[in-house]
Chains A and B, each alone.
Chain A
Amino acid sequence: MKKLFLLLTVAMLSACTSSIHMSQVDVGTNSQQELASGKVINIEKSQKILLGFVYDSNYVDQAYKQLLLQCPNGTSMINVEYLTNHGFLSWTDKIRIKALCKQA
């Protein structure tokens, strides 16, 4: 009974932990119009890593390219978040970008 309780506790505690390494917000000058009624876009790119073998960080470049595509006139405010979801002998690195696109 004691071992079963221990096993259940371990299973519960080992579920889906995360770590946010960085979250930064930047705002451009003359962005009042977009702050009042701008379009917010969300971009999330990730990379699954097994046993620590990492050979590139292309997901960051993909997120940046997606940002340029979705905001062709540029951005007036941007939030970049870099985090890790932990797993069994593996983890997933994620980059989340929220931005206010400049209007044409």
Chain B
Amino acid sequence: MPIKLQSILGLSFLLVGGCSQLHHVHIGDIDQSQGRLTPFTIEVNELGFDAARTAEIGAGMAKSASTSKDLEFVALILAISNFGPKTGNPVYNDAYADQVFYEVIKVCPSKKITGLTSVREATNVGPVSGEVVRINGYCIN
């Protein structure tokens, strides 16, 4: 198979092969007795990037043995520099979910909220991902 066709096929699989992953879900109390319910969704997301895995992939694809060795060393440095438990891919901003609390306060004009569902999920495309915090709920009218 010509190298160009191989690259196109590989890239297509990478793009089409994106998949969602649920990490955590929490469902709160639901009160349907106070009035009509209107659904709302608040979602924040951040770019997740696994640099060490990218370097590992690069090492596997490198044409020369020395480049492959260099990239393996880079992957090792990145792995020990970003040590610790991970949910999804690491992000470079730890405050991206801070505003959900204030958004929930503002979302209902009636200031009556019920049925809050908190979801932590990700959409992965290889070593890159969208790390998502989503809050679903209902305004009581």
Interface residues of A (CB under 8 A from B): 6, 10, 13-27, 29, 31-32, 35-36, 40, 49, 77, 79, 81, 83-91, 93-94, 96, 98, 100
Contacts and interface: CB of A to CB of B under 8 A. Distances in A.
Contacts of A100: 105
Tell me whether chain B's interface is mostly helix, strand or loop, or mixed.
mixed
B87 A21 contact: yes
Tell me whether chain A's interface is mostly helix, strand or loop, or mixed.
strand
Contacts, number: 131
A79 B23 contact: no
A27 B24 contact: no
Task: Kindly state the interface size class of chain B when it binds its partner.
Answer: 35 or more
Contacts of A17: 82, 90-92
A83 B86 CA distance: 9
B36 interface: no
Given A20-B87, A79-B100, A93-B85, 16 more contacts: A10-B77, A13-B51, A14-B81, A19-B88, A19-B91, A23-B120, A24-B24, A25-B28, A27-B116, A32-B111, A35-B112, A77-B104, A77-B105, A84-B86, A89-B83, A94-B94
